[in-house]
Amino acid sequence: MERKGQCLCGAVRFAVGALGNFGVCHCRQCQRWAGSALFGVNVPEAAMRVEGAEHIGSFRSSDWATRSFCTRCGSGLWYRYDKGVDGTGDYEVPVGLLDDANGLELQSEIFADAKPDCWALEGAHERLTSAETLAKFGPQVEGT
């Protein structure tokens, strides 16, 4: 099922043909970038179609990842684990950008011990501490 989404002003629009894991990242960088945790759904690189690319700015937030935003309205668009190669890698798209995020089921939380105590997510899903996240995905994702 194709899902569509856009930034706040609509200058950047996208359509995704396949969705992967829906998860939440509580790392400090995601907290600063998203203003809370990043509630993101994984989109394989080949499944993403983007319109309005001229309005996309990117910030290399680490040696292995970039975060993109709309240059008109400032909306955060996606995080890409690109392993240091600009413009590559799967997308982590904030679910709030999807026109319809209904039906997604939360599958995991990472860096769960970095979550502030002012919120908690319910449900039976994987919750990885920072150490468990690094052990599973490698030390290069520290503070993603």
The pTM for the full model equals 0.90
List Cβ neighbours of 110 (8 Å cut-off, separation of 6 or more).
23, 24, 25, 26, 27, 128, 133, 137
Rounded Cα distance between 22 and 42, Å, is 6
Cβ proximity of 19 and 25 under 8 Å: no
> For residue range 79-88, what is the model confidence (pLDDT) as tens digits?
998 888 888 8
Cβ proximity of 20 and 44 under 8 Å: yes
> For residue range 58-113, what is the model confidence (pLDDT) as tens digits?
999 888 889 999 999 999 999 998 888 888 899 999 999 999 999 999 999 999 99
List Cβ neighbours of 63 (8 Å cut-off, separation of 6 or more).
84, 140
